[in-house]
């Protein structure tokens, strides 16, 4: 080998070594670029979208597989299934209507029971007023009879009571005694009794009713007022918007009479 060829071989050997060095460095750079992995935000978003898309496709495929039985069913089977669904729907509608009817019936029954209770309470109050077992108040008049000469007789007071009742009196009290259906006057002038309780002048009638009907009934010609004035008694009638009748009678139990509804 000549001296010229030797340097050339050395030069080629150096070039080969340089190429191997450059090749090894490229691999190292590739490995360094791949690990550890560097993931950007955009890559994460794309990966998430791909995951969601894949999940949706899987659910759709499963749903389609579940409905495959109906797709493969015969027409007669589909008709039968639809008929069963219609029957079930109709039964549910009937049950719903039945429950609605029951609710309406219960509501009506409750309303009727409440209305019956109110009517019973009102009827009891009305009967209590008539029987004198409850106090009452309302518009009416106060009739005051002064008898300085002790000339007023029991029958005159009874006439006054009858006139008031005929004129629509609903509750009456005379000198603290409650007037009821069987009230009576007895005794002589100056010693009159009402339901066996002694009263004395002035005789004060507290009357609940329509004042425009009660007062004229007492002042008719030849009526109560004129009769009492002939006996030198003085009569005063005063109308009022609220008359209180609070004298009470104890409720009495009948000895023989019984309700026909028992």
CA 184 distance to own-chain centroid: 49
Instruction: Provide the token pair at 66.
Output: 């579940």
Residue 24 vs residues 19, 93, 126, 168: alpha-carbon distances, Å: 9, 82, 119, 129
Higher pLDDT, 245 or 18: 245
Contacts of 187 (CB under 8 A, 6+ apart): 154, 193, 198
Taking the C-alpha atoms of residue 52 and residue 58, their distance in angstroms, rounded to an integer, is: 10
CA torsion, points 217, 219, 221, 223, in degrees to nearest 10? 70
- The pLDDT of residue 239: 95
Q: Residue 141's domain is classified under what CATH number? A: 3.30.70.1880
* 184 confidence band (pLDDT: 50, 70, 90): very high
Taking the C-alpha atoms of residue 147 and residue 143, their distance in angstroms, rounded to an integer, is: 13
| Same domain (yes/no): 178, 114 | no
How many structural domains does the chain have?
2
Helices 211-218, 154-166: crossing angle, 10 deg rounding: 140
174: in domain: yes
Q: Choose among 233, 239, 242, 241: nearest CA to 214.
A: 239
- The pLDDT of residue 186: 94
86: in domain: yes
Q: Are 135 and 245 in contact (CB under 8 A)?
A: yes
Higher pLDDT, 234 or 113: 234
Contacts of 231 (CB under 8 A, 6+ apart): 147, 149, 151, 152, 156
Burial of 218 (0-12, 13-18, 19+ CB in 10 A): buried
- The pLDDT of residue 57: 72
- The pLDDT of residue 64: 56
The model's pLDDT over 36-86, given as tens digits with 9 standing for 90+, comes to 556 566 667 777 777 777 777 777 666 555 555 556 667 777 777 777 888
The model's pLDDT over 224-250, given as tens digits with 9 standing for 90+, comes to 999 999 999 999 999 999 999 999 988
Taking the C-alpha atoms of residue 139 and residue 209, their distance in angstroms, rounded to an integer, is: 6
Structural domain range at position 182? 136-245
Of 88-102, 134-148, 228-242, the range with the lowest mean pLDDT is 88-102
| Same domain (yes/no): 108, 151 | no
The pLDDT mean for the chain works out to 80
| Same domain (yes/no): 158, 181 | yes
Run of H or E residues at 24: helix 5-34
Instruction: Provide the token pair at 123.
Output: 């009827």
Taking the C-alpha atoms of residue 170 and residue 138, their distance in angstroms, rounded to an integer, is: 10
Region 126-134: what's the mean pLDDT?
A: 83
- The pLDDT of residue 21: 47
Q: Which SS3 state, helix, strand or coil, does residue 238 take?
A: strand
Region 10-19: what's the mean pLDDT?
A: 52
262: in domain: no
Higher pLDDT, 172 or 104: 172
Q: Choose among 178, 206, 203, 179: nearest CA to 191.
A: 203
- The pLDDT of residue 142: 97
Higher pLDDT, 85 or 204: 204
* Sign of the four-CA dihedral 192, 194, 197, 200: negative
- The pLDDT of residue 174: 96
| Same domain (yes/no): 161, 119 | no
| Same domain (yes/no): 106, 143 | no
Q: Choose among 192, 202, 105, 193: nearest CA to 147.
A: 202
């Amino acid at each position: 080998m000549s001296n010229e060829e030797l340097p050339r071989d050395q030069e080629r050997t150096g070039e080969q070594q340089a190429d191997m060095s450059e090749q090894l460095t490229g691999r190292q750079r590739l490995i360094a670029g791949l690990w550890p992995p560097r993931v950007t935000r955009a890559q994460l978003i794309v990966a998430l979208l791909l995951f969601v898309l894949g999940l949706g496709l899987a659910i759709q495929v499963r749903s389609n597989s579940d409905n495959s039985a109906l797709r493969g069913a015969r027409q007669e089977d589909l008709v039968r299934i639809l008929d069963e669904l219609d029957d079930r729907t109709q039964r549910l509608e009937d049950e719903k209507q039945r429950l609605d009817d029951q609710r309406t019936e219960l509501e009506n029954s409750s309303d009727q029971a409440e209305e019956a209770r109110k009517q019973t309470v009102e009827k009891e109050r009305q009967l209590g007023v008539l029987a004198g077992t409850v106090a009452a108040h309302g518009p009416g008049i106060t009739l005051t009879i002064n008898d300085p000469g002790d000339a007023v007789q029991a029958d005159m007071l009874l006439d006054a009571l009858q006139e008031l009742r005929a004129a629509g009196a609903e509750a009456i009290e005379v000198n603290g005694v409650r007037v009821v259906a069987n009230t009576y006057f007895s005794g002589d002038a100056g010693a009159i009794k009402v339901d066996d309780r002694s009263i004395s002048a002035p005789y004060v009638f507290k009357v609940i009713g329509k004042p425009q009907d009660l007062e004229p009934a007492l002042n008719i010609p030849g009526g109560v007022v004129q009769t009492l004035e002939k006996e030198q008694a003085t009569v005063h009638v005063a109308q009022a918007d609220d008359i209180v009748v609070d004298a009470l009678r104890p409720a009495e139990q009948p000895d023989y009479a019984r309700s026909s509804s028992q």
